[in-house]
Amino acid sequence: LANAFSKKDVVDFIKKIKNFLSLKDSDNVIFSAEPKIDGISASLKYQNGIFSIGASRGDGRTGEDITNNLKTISNIPKKIKSFNVPSILEVRGEIYISRTDFKKIDKKFSNPRNAAGGSLRQKNSEETKKIPLQFMAYGFGLVKKINFSKQSEYLKLLKEWGFQTSPLAKIVNSIEEIEKNYILIENKREKIDFDIDGLVYKVDDLELQTRLGFVSNAPRWAIAHKFSAEKVFSKIKNIEIQVGRTGALTPVAKITPVTIGGVTVSNASLHNEDEINRKDIRIGDRVCVQRAGEVIPQVLYVDKTKRGKDVKKFIFPKKCPCGNETIKEFNDTTKKIDAVRRCPDIGYDCKYIAKEKLKHLVSKDAFNIEGLGKKVVENFWNKKFIKYPHDIFEFDTSKLKKVDGWGKLSIQNLNDSIKKSKKISLPKFIYALGIRHIGQENAKVLSKNFNNINKFIDACTNLSKKSSAVADDFDAIDGMGASQIDALKKYFLNKKNIILISKLLKYVNVSEYINVKINSSLSGKSVMFTGKFDKMSRSELKMKAENLGAKIVSSISKRTDFLIVGNTKPTVKKVNQAKSINVKIITEKDLLNILN
């Protein structure tokens, strides 16, 4: 889910929905407002009313089978005794421990969420049975045949089928109602017997949900409105510099440990040099700290009434800890110098960047190598076991027999995980490289356009050689901006990066990105849109065209198959350009006929 941290964020979310659906400002969108339970998500599959399999989120794409552990939870129906239950029903919800029950076991666990997570991962379901877990249902996956048309209808059916649902769920249809309900729930948050960290707003109408679809990894039709974070005061003992995988130098405050929302915090982000100066933050200051989005601790402000004479001003270093002179780049979008100071290294020469790149490479959304967490990568680096990506696949794990904390089983598990990771999808591989500005969504867009790793490398290598034809190809990719193209150029200009990729490819098999072939007149066609459309928004028409196999481009070229022109304000230059190179021009009416 995307997150909202303020009323403005929610207003923007509703505005985007209305724009996508071509609704007027005066039109109301009805939402189901439901508490966001702080637990572990699970999915339960029922076949003809009988619970057959249960899964946790796993790696975010493939779930982990936890059926036996879920069967120990008393409020999960093992059989739905109702005539109107669909033949296949996938119920999604949250596993949690109530605050009342947690008091009985709080000496064993730090917080209810950790207790629930650890219990679900038990190999022995008899151990899970000892923990007072509960399940609260709120969503659905596959349903055959679906017998509800609204989220609110589904919640009523869930209750009828014997599932626990939240008594706090409510229908809201205006920003005023949303805000009123949000304040009401936040004010009584501490009295609720289970942990919640916000509210989730879902478009109630399932037909509208289908039309809205998804962007990146989140639905367009839902958002999580987080509660304001808990704030505490602590003293800054020191300020240290951390170097990220893109070379960004981030100042981190080392503070006297404090507990925020059940988590002990000893580090807090200070963001950048400008923020330290703007807030006048000094070593020795008493500062207000919060966990932003209840995840990342950050310093909000200094309590200057408590400032002593022994405070020390922090001088931001002009050099990276590796010795390189740092730079502040000019941002072409904002036309300003960036606030972030960076180490200019874009390879593996800076050891601080190199370590962070390796941590990124093995992370869940990249190679997903279990057993190689951040601390393990740090440890392996310090012991000179690994330095470059290919070292991970060349690593002789028998060396670990002499390392504390590594037994026969953990070594075997790491071996298995490394072996499993050798098969990787193209989007994950591109994302794993850690190229600046190339996130998961950009990696998917690039994969969709180049299909296999060799085409991608060739195109990027030619791009770095300043080939104008190749640059035009990248410009035409819908979703790729100047920042992303420039980042790819810089990365592939560094010959060390190309050598590292070739060494890595000796060990891993990158699968081709298969564009689903759809039998339609738009399948495989390059399509561009211009102007405003009457029946649907341009965004919705783009999504529908993509669903029929079209490739959306952002500039006209000889390889463009169709220019789809709206009835209002089409760009004359684009229309004339299309005519001059014989690109077929079609209207909204023509497109709707194809879509139908």
Collapsed DSSP state (helix, strand, coil) of residue 483 = helix
d(CA 441, CA 1): 15
> Rounded distance, CA 333 to CA 338, Å?
11
C-alpha–C-alpha distance, residues 476 and 450, integer Å = 13
Instruction: Give the 3-state secondary structure of residue 343.
Output: coil
Burial 401-434 (b: 16+ CB within 10 A, else e): eeeeebeeeebeebeebbeebeebbbbbbbbbbb
**Cα distance between residue 468 and residue 485, in whole Å:** 13
> What φ, ψ does residue 77 adopt, rounded to 5°?
-65, 130
**Residues 249, 58 contacting (CB under 8 angstroms):** no
CA distances from 224 to 201, 203, 220, 221, 513 (A): 6, 12, 12, 11, 31
Sequence-ordered list of residues with C-beta below 8 angstroms from that of 469, at least 6 positions apart, any chain: none
CA distances in angstroms from 363 to 89, 359, 425, listed in the order given? 32, 6, 14
User: Cα separation of 64 and 40, whole Å?
Assistant: 12
Closest by CA position to 441, among listed 471, 477, 469: 477
Q: Which two tokens stand for residue 447?
A: 């994969």
Among 18, 36, 489, 517, the active-site one is 36
Helices (H), 346-425: 351-361, 374-382, 389-394, 408-421
The closest of 504, 482, 499 to 437, measured between CA atoms, is 482
Three-class secondary structure of residue 3 per DSSP: strand
Residue bearing tokens 């850690």: 434
Catalytic annotation present for 319? no
Nearest-angstrom CA–CA distance, 280 and 288: 13
Query: What Å distances lie between residue 293 and 196, 197, 385, CA to CA?
Result: 13, 9, 36
576/581 Cα distance (integer angstroms) = 9
- The β-bridge partners of 401 are none
Which residues are tagged catalytic? Answer: 36
